[in-house]
Chain A
């Protein structure tokens, strides 16, 4: 009980600090909004609404690696600076959204390339897509539940075969050898009474490969070389690059702090 109270107090302090950084408390995203990215580098100049990209629909079909390594999307909103012309040439969104590629025998609609403006509204939908919530609810109804984030336990969904993200796109991805699975390792928690973190390489590499995390996100591999703090993580560094934004949020303490309590 004492440990639980301590853990709650630490969590409260970190969350408060994270919110204090921005000065304004952000609204907690609803399950269907969690992981949504607004992209609007060039939309305004083209007279279009920004794109609302829903991670949930894409991550149920493809691994993170396919999009962020093989296709080359950046890891933060707007960093890729996608142009309609890029899509039209078959890159970025246009890699799959080309009106020819198929997913489960259905043709994937063609990305907006500036020629056929009525198609643009499918993605350039900021504030104009009231059906997103219903679509998400229908999608999520049979998937294992989780308390936070999208409300979906994605890992369990894959283990149960309810989703099978594709890890290879013909003509885009590179044929690689299967990775040798690394052992899980433990990271000691800094706060007394907090269980240690068990980091699973196998859970992460199955969706990400190596180069998505190393060295851009995690530079040091030698144990103790990098000091991780929850403040850094809540500011979007290290685990916080994905967790909080797309992967389950860091407020779900026991997803990572699953080890033994150090004495």
Chain B
């Protein structure tokens, strides 16, 4: 009888531990960009500091025609600063944001050269 109770208690303890590991491991994996939940999108993840900076810098593309040379230079410098951060990201995130960053940096460079 005691043996049965002991086995039941062990089973319950194992279930709690396994459940806890899964609960902790999923968000950790998600942050690393390799979510085990295939339907979890980047959109649902919390915004990282580099993303905030990226969004702030690249939001200026629609204003690029009215920006001064100094403002354009500052935005280009911020793009340059973001580049190594993006190069350090997980493969797909890196590929997507490398292209997106290049597009907005190239536009600022283009506007700067057009304003000469």
Residues of A within 8 A of B (CB): 69-72, 74, 83, 85-86, 88-92, 94-95, 98-101, 110, 113, 115, 169-172, 174-180, 182, 209-212, 214-216, 219, 221-222
Contacts and interface: CB of A to CB of B under 8 A. Distances in A.
B20 to A, nearest CB: 25
A113 B107 contact: no
Interface of B (DSSP majority class): helix
Contacts of B93: 89, 91
Nearest to B116: A222
Which 6 interchain pairs have the tightest Cβ spacing? A171-B43, A90-B41, A215-B110, A211-B107, A176-B62, A72-B96
B39 A172 contact: no
Interface of A (DSSP majority class): loop
Interface in B1-53: 33-35, 38-44
A113 B65 contact: no
A66 to B, nearest CB: 12
Contacts of B76: none
Interface in B94-116: 95-97, 99-100, 103-104, 106-107, 109-111, 114
A217 B106 CA distance: 12
A178 B96 contact: no
A87 to B, nearest CB: 9
Contacts, number: 100
Interface residues of B, number: 36
Given A85-B92, A171-B43, A215 B35 contact: no
Contacts of A72: 95-97, 99-100
A16 to B, nearest CB: 35
B29 to A, nearest CB: 11
Given A90-B40, A214-B110, A69 B100 contact: yes
B63 interface: yes
B114 A211 contact: no
A41 B75 CA distance: 35
Contacts of B100: 69-70, 72
B66 A180 contact: yes
Contacts of A92: 96
Contacts of B35: 89-90
A115 B37 CA distance: 12
Contacts of A94: 41
Nearest to A74: B99
B103 to A, nearest CB: 4
Contacts of A178: 62
B59 A176 contact: yes
Contact of B92 (A70, A86, A211): A86
A100 B38 CA distance: 11
